[in-house]
Amino acid sequence: MACRISVISRHISSPPLEHLDDLGVRVAPEVRSALSSGVGVVALESTIVSHGMPYPQNFHTAQEVESIVRANGAVPATIAILDGVPCIGLSLAELERLAKLGTMVSKTARRDIPYVIARRGNGATTVSATMFFASKAGIKVFVTGGIGGVHRQGESTMDVSSDLTELGKTPVAVVCAGVKSILDIPRTLEYLETQGVTVVSYSTDEFPAFFTPNSGCKAPCRADSVEECADIIEANTKLGLGSGILIGVPIPAEHAAAAKNVESAIQSALHEAESRGIAGNSVTPFLLKRVNELTGGDSLAANIQLVKNNALVGAKIATALTTRLSRFTKSS
């Protein structure tokens, strides 16, 4: 692989969970047990549940994603803020409550965390907030659909997602289907380089573009197995770089929406958003909703499939990482 590395496995301990209790962060019993015993844990965001699709489709999809994580040897930890309490891991009832509340739940990035907690509100965590809480718990692998990035015309609007700066300062590996194709992918990759983020494409030389496997942008690094991904995560942790890792997993070809149709829908949705004065964190949900409408549901179907595929790969990476560390501990 490009940027090929080989590292010697060593024990990488998670922080004691008592400090989270002191901070008022609730860790679900299943997640707490997994972290304490060295079982792989995969963090999952909650914005995709509340803002990504309607109920009950969002609830069923969330259940399926958690099931895929478990089936591949890891424990899912969906992260959200409920009644002002940050939760790392949700019960089935809590997951359904979040799904039913939908867009009534505050979309919560890192900057919004204090406000939501102080008001004892409900917050669905975005990539940046999910990474923050995952890192606090020592969770090293996080699965999502796609990350935010530099918006088109970002050189004029300065609209850059906090996902990118979070990746620059939080040591969590984000497994996703690349950067959402509604964004400026080349500028996003440049920004990630500036932030010192290791960007890896899984089993391909090209960085994926969310709905489609191809973006036209060559990835800085390539990994061809979950073991190689685990090596990269371990090396990052061992050296204490303090930055995140972005692992782009292309959506399976059989589920990819036709790139030409998606791009046409994106352009129409962008013009509509501009004409209606939609800005800030309302832009991405609006664009995704309109693109789904304009593609006759193809983009939402692709979205669901790519999240499931990411969960499969992410769980295997988390398991590979813990298996490697367990073998080393036994031989030490």
Angle between helices 298-331 and 226-239 (to 10 degrees): 60
Q: Where does 276-297 have alpha helices with state H?
A: 283-294
Question: Angle at Cα 218 formed by Cα 45 and Cα 162, nearest 5°?
Answer: 35
195 within 8 A of 162, measured Cβ to Cβ: no
- The distance of Cα 327 from the centroid of its chain, to the nearest Å, equals 28
- What is the β-pairing status of strands 173-176 and 141-143? parallel
Concerning whether 45 is annotated as a catalytic residue, the answer is: yes
**Residue 76 Cα distances to 90, 203, 208, 216, angstroms:** 9, 24, 24, 33
Question: Which residues on adjacent β-strands are paired with residue 106?
Answer: 123
Q: Where are the beta strands (DSSP E) in the chain?
A: 26-27, 41-44, 75-82, 85-88, 106-108, 123-125, 141-143, 173-176, 198-202, 221-223, 245-248
- Catalytic residue chosen out of the listed positions 140, 180, 308, 316: 180
Under 8 Å between Cβ of 282 and 9: no
The verdict on whether 308 is a catalytic residue reads no
**Which residues make beta-bridge pairs with 209?**
178, 212
* Per annotation, catalytic residue among 45, 166, 228, 234: 45
Between CA 58 and CA 100 the distance in angstroms is 9
Active site residues: 45, 180
